[in-house]
Chain A
Amino acid sequence: MKILVVDDFSTMRRIIKNLLRDLGFNNTQEADDGLTALPKLQAGDFDFLVTDWNMPGMQGIDLLKAVRADAKLSKLPVLMVTAEAKKEQIIEAAQAGVNGYIVKPFTAATLKEKIDKIFERIEASKG
């Protein structure tokens, strides 16, 4: 499974990459905002996207919308990991088609739980 981790803080990207490795996901790549992430997603065969919201350049919510609008990427599972905690924002992300939403600070257990849930659902929908 190939995963793209998008966050403008490199420390957070490292944390998420390490957590993913702990969960058995070794094939991860990084981008520091939506503008650098989108071409990577379009060029590479990523299976999963983990993104922050508040980033310079292109925000995570706009990246999510761009992914959903792209015929090739529209089915890509997207997990948002962000400090943005307003209800209207969570609702906006849900409406834009996010698959999971984690607020920072978060725990390793939360990340595992959300990822498991996302893939369970995908498996279930494949029937």
Chain B
Amino acid sequence: MNNTTICSSASLESAKKLVVLIESGDEAAAFDILEELSAIRESSLFQDLGKLTRDLHNTINGFQLDSKISSMTEHDIPDAKERLNYVISMTESAANKTLTSIEASMPISDELQQRVEKLYVSWGRFRKRDMAVDEFRTLNNEIDEFFKWLMENIPNLHSNLSDIMMAQGFQDLTGQIIRRVITLVQEVEESLVGLIRITGQKKTQSSQPQEHDRKEVYLSGPVVPGIDKGDVVSGQDDVDDLLSSLGF
């Protein structure tokens, strides 16, 4: 069954034999040769059919990839652009928050240093008993004022530092968003490679696009304004409302 074409030397040989057999009236042997010849013909038919089927299969796969890529260009790529823009605005806002808190803290730390330096000098004179009573009264008031100033400003310093710390949360959130975009880029790459394989008509074992991780779809990650709408909460208040509606 290896011979795929009817116009081969083997077929010609069989045909000649057939003529001889018919002339000699050997009916049974002539039928055998006929069977052989039609087997050759069927086999080549099957091979053609097989090739057609494979072409059809590849074309259908190509269509699937085409539609996957077009949905990526229509939806996922602009979506990724939005996400990356959001990363820029988040990092910008974190940097601004940090700088604002630093700018608010620097004067406090400067003033602290000046006040302490001044008090330290007066305190040194007092310890050396090199201070008049009036001067001591002034020092006394200054120390009192210094304590008041500390009580007022140290909490501010602490809250500024805490703001700086909270602003660093951007690293987690932008990291999650960037991971999603990396996954998308990998999918685009895989689809393009698949498309090239199919259009290049190279026979591959499986050119089916890989089913990507469904978890990614289920886990939506940080809410990106303008992209994530619908069934997401818009902040902690929404979470609290939802949970309390569940009797939480």
Contacts and interface: CB of A to CB of B under 8 A. Distances in A.
A94 B172 CA distance: 24
Contact of A90 (B166, B219, B239): B239
B233 A87 contact: yes
B246 A12 contact: no
A102 B165 contact: no
Interface residues of A, number: 30
Interface string B197-236: 0000000000000000001000111110000100111111
Contact of A15 (B168, B175, B215, B222): B168
Contacts of A25: none
A104 B219 CA distance: 14
Interface in B173-188: 173, 175-176
A86 interface: yes
B28 interface: no
Contacts of A105: 166, 169-170, 173
18 contacts: A9-B171, A9-B175, A11-B168, A15-B166, A15-B169, A19-B162, A54-B176, A85-B234, A86-B220, A86-B231, A86-B233, A91-B242, A101-B243, A103-B235, A104-B172, A105-B173, A108-B162, A110-B236
